[in-house]
Structure 1
Amino acid sequence: MLVLLMSVAGAVATAPAASAATYAAYVMGYFKESPNQSGDSYALHLAVSSDGLSWMPLNQNNPVATPTAGMQGLRDPYILRKQDGTFVVLATDLKGRVFNLNNQYIHVWDSANLTGFSNYRRVRLHTMATHSWAPEAFWVPSRNAYAVIYSANNGTRDVFMVNWTTDFITMGSPQVFFDPGFNVLDGDVLVDGSNFYLSYKNLSNGNLYVARSTTGLPNSFTTLTGGLRQGGAIEAPILVKSNTSSTFWLWGDSFSPANAVFYAWQSSNVNGNSWSALNQRAYTAPINAKHATISPITAAEQSALISRWGAPQWNRLKSYNAPDRYVRHAAYAARIDPFPMDPTADQQWRLVPGLADSAGVSFESVNVPGRYLRHSNYALRLDPNDNTATFRADATFYRTAGLADGAWASFRSYNFPDRYIRHSNYALRIDPLGSGSALADRQDATFQITY
């Protein structure tokens, strides 16, 4: 029997799964990395979404749980709803960007509803001279147990191993779960009815794939798809089924922290080879989120999470026609730049009642409080509020339906009412615009208020 680093009380889950609940939202768990490491956080973070695509980070994007043993940091968290309706959180025992290739332990927490975490422990999965990366788990009825799968090297190549458990305390002996004959990384299993879908990264070519099994047992998966990739490099696939339709999403994030962005595909036939890449306009991941996990939750659970951890006290503005870019200040000039960016807070804004008219809106910087976006010679700058009538007027805008998409937003100048905020060569300015303006100009003036 494998050794448990710390003993906690646990019980076998015997109650029916919570699948009978009406899921109306989603929860995401993740850790964080940013290009210059100033935004790194090797702890558990949470976000929620009503549609599974646009995410609101909780607790101001700060951690909700931090490991205190082992390397005192985590990567690759995974949230599983157990058969009794409560949750367990698993994570890789790693901190930072220097990888321990021989760590045999993972972090584990129990949680009733993700508003708190208890029974923290490190669990040993094996005694091999290899790692235990990206642990995930799912229930297999034929075994009456949970499969805990993870990336490891079996002495021949990088494969997925599995341990069987009923309590996430005592682990069975490890065995090979998936070995397609080439190196693999980051396995994620979605259980949908009687099918088990495994997404994984093929380390030989760097692409993501989806495989299927009707049993969920070791060595029973058959690959369904050709390789999928967006960006220069991709990893950490997540398979998600929509709560409201037959749509499936496949998420992945870029390999490099210098380009820590999420990509997504959509399919109405997960059994086929028909995945369509989503435009980044369709989704927004939390700032600096890496190697995430996504689980369905009820509306009541979503409300409880927001109540417990709090909604952000800031927003971001996403460009409509350059959806990888967000409004930020740089040397006090306003512009749109690609995400990710450092400092993180350059792209975060407090939307406050308009300084000249409370029916409008003004944009206060989060990391330079007291400075607001204002136009000067039609160019937008981040300037300190001198409380003059001119400044208040220059820093006030009226939110309207997006000129290119009514579901988004445009911002009309208070004191130049024929002019709207738009980007031009990535710099922000106010220009005359209206319904008769060219489509490209209207797109330049359309933004999404997001997080």
Structure 2
Amino acid sequence: MHNRLVLASARRRLLSVVIGVTVLFAAVVTGALPPGTASAATYSGYAMAYFTESPNTTGANYGLHLAVSSDGLNWTPLNQNNPVVTPAQGTGGLRDPFILRKQDGTFTILATDLRGTDFTQPNQYIHVWESADLRTFTNYHRLRLHSLNTHSWAPEAFWDASRGQYAIIYSAVSGGHDVIMVNYTSDFVTVSAQQKFFDPGYGVIDGNMISDGSTNYLYFKSTATDALMGARSSSLNPGSFSVYTGAVRPGRGVEAPETYKSLTSNTWYMWGDTYSPNGRFFSWQTSSLSGGSWSPLNDRSYTQPLNSKHPGITPITATEMSNLTARWGTPGWNRLKSYNFPDRYIRHADNVARIDVYPFDPYQDQQWRLVPGLADSAGVSFQSVNYPGMYLRHSNYALVLATNDGTTVFRSDATFYRTAGFADSSWTSFRAYSHPDRYIRHYGYVLRIDPITSGSSATDRQDATFRVGY
């Protein structure tokens, strides 16, 4: 009996050590977070806050939108890509939302108080919400940060342990150009007087902070170069950050950097947003923040929420993700991305099916309901969201958008079977119901059905491969 008790005690101690090592390893793997954030050992996904705009602003909505992702790269909009809460004060709209996980595990949401694109408006206030779980939002108020005749753009916050307070950083004009300002707070109701946090001598906006545990990194947009850059410091003190990276840009102007770490590897990601209202996200990665070198990701690797602008990203637990999805629901529509032209999506234009570069308007032309096949429920049919009585069908092998006339021929021509993607089995190819040797593919950016086999050329196989996402 004594030996069994000793053995049981030893097993408990061993289990305790294994659990402790496992938690420590998970915390190390996922350790790069905003300064002061608690251990990420239990995080298994991300939440993104954003607002929406489209090229001619028909997709503009200046409320708080949310999306979730398990990998931080491919995102599922919640609430049908509609806002989950909308400001009731100030301009009645927001831009640049940011989600802070506070020391007690709950959230504070900060956002610029600005509706639309009139960036000449001075505004001393930002929007603030509290939330226990990102499913309900309470204590909404506007917070005055300064008394200057300037703006308060792109607020973000982090915990400064040396002060025992949260730091709110944002962009405002001082000395004739934009700088990053800071106010300190314990409750997001009252704040200290503003002071200059970072000023390299030229205009800087959209400050975003991350830490690798020993060094703090501040990423920002340089208005002098229209590029993203980084500064770093061993402390969080105002004035202590020094620029250390070269410019990061996708070949055109970019802003709104948002950095976060993979939950499964030693990889950091940075997103950037091109100018409003024609924005789209670009993404880069690095294995070393201290190295300061970022490599662009292929558009094939990531998919932003439809019409999303200026993201704020925070890690969340599996339970939080499940609860968010249950509360807000996932879209009843999909978008389909081209494999070999991943900046293009399937859309209809003048009733012709084609792939076009995102973003575009009408943005609804790229939204499809993948409904049970009209000729065989085991297949799928592509129902237009903005023309719900119309479906993609092939006619003389060309794909067109046409009204369902209820005939057997129409149902047959509008039905396809999902198969593993020819170019990538994790993607999708679509075989025609009525011509089982033919698959949907693009040719000259226009969709048609052609014979495709595993022995077809690499180009043909790539042309017939798509990602079903949002």
Q: TM-score, normalised by structure 2?
A: 0.91
Q: Offset at 1:219? A: 1.1
Q: Retained in 2: the 8 A contact 1:404–1:439?
A: yes
Greater shift, 52-61 or 230-239, is seen at 230-239
Distance 1:242 1:195 in 2: 18
1:160 alignment partner, SS class: strand
The match for 1:335 among 346, 354, 362 is 354
Q: What's 1:367 paired with? A: 386
Between structure 1 and structure 2, the one with the greater Rg is 2
Greater shift, 209-218 or 159-168, is seen at 209-218
Q: Offset at 1:387? A: 1.7
Q: Retained in 1: the 8 A contact 2:37–2:159?
A: no
Q: Retained in 2: the 8 A contact 1:189–1:197?
A: yes
The match for 1:217 among 237, 255, 265 is 237
Q: What's 1:439 paired with? A: 458
1:292 alignment partner, SS class: strand
The match for 2:212 among 192, 210, 213 is 192
Q: Retained in 2: the 8 A contact 1:233–1:256?
A: no
Q: Is 1:51 matched up with 2:83?
A: no
Q: What's 1:175 paired with? A: 195
Distance 1:117 1:370 in 2: 38
Distance change in 2, residues 1:67/1:282 (3 Å): same
1:440 alignment partner, SS class: helix
The match for 2:228 among 205, 208, 217 is 208
Paired letter, 1:325: R
Greater shift, 340-349 or 301-310, is seen at 340-349
Q: Retained in 2: the 8 A contact 1:78–1:292?
A: yes
Q: Offset at 1:371? A: 1.1
Q: Offset at 1:101? A: 3.6
Distance 2:401 2:242 in 1: 55
Give unpaired runs (5+ residues) of structure 1: 1-15
Distance 1:93 1:38 in 2: 20
Distance 1:157 1:235 in 2: 16
Q: Is 1:252 matched up with 2:265?
A: no
Q: Is 1:80 matched up with 2:133?
A: no
1:19 alignment partner, SS class: coil
Greater shift, 175-184 or 19-28, is seen at 19-28
Q: Offset at 1:343? A: 1.5
Aligned CA RMSD, in angstroms, stands at 1.2
Q: Is 1:36 matched up with 2:56?
A: yes
Distance 2:40 2:399 in 1: 52
Distance change in 2, residues 1:321/1:221 (3 Å): same
Q: Retained in 2: the 8 A contact 1:198–1:212?
A: yes
Q: What's 1:9 paired with? A: none
Distance 2:177 2:119 in 1: 17
Paired letter, 1:257: P
Q: Offset at 1:33? A: 0.7
Distance 1:155 1:120 in 2: 32
The match for 1:132 among 122, 131, 152 is 152
Distance 1:17 1:325 in 2: 37
Q: Offset at 1:100? A: 4.1
2:123 alignment partner, SS class: coil
Q: What's 1:233 paired with? A: 253
Greater shift, 184-193 or 373-382, is seen at 184-193
Q: TM-score, normalised by structure 1?
A: 0.95
Q: Retained in 2: the 8 A contact 1:43–1:67?
A: yes
Q: Offset at 1:20? A: 5.3
The match for 1:416 among 427, 435, 452 is 435
Distance 1:242 1:20 in 2: 11
1:76 alignment partner, SS class: strand
Distance 2:373 2:160 in 1: 56
The match for 1:394 among 413, 417, 434 is 413
Distance 1:396 1:252 in 2: 39
Distance change in 2, residues 1:273/1:320 (3 Å): same
Q: Retained in 1: the 8 A contact 2:244–2:292?
A: yes
Q: What aligned pairs does 1:93-104 form with structure 2 within 5 A after superposition?
A: 93-104=113-124
Paired letter, 2:456: S
Q: What aligned pairs does 1:319-330 form with structure 2 within 5 A after superposition?
A: 319-330=338-349
Q: Offset at 1:17? A: 5.7
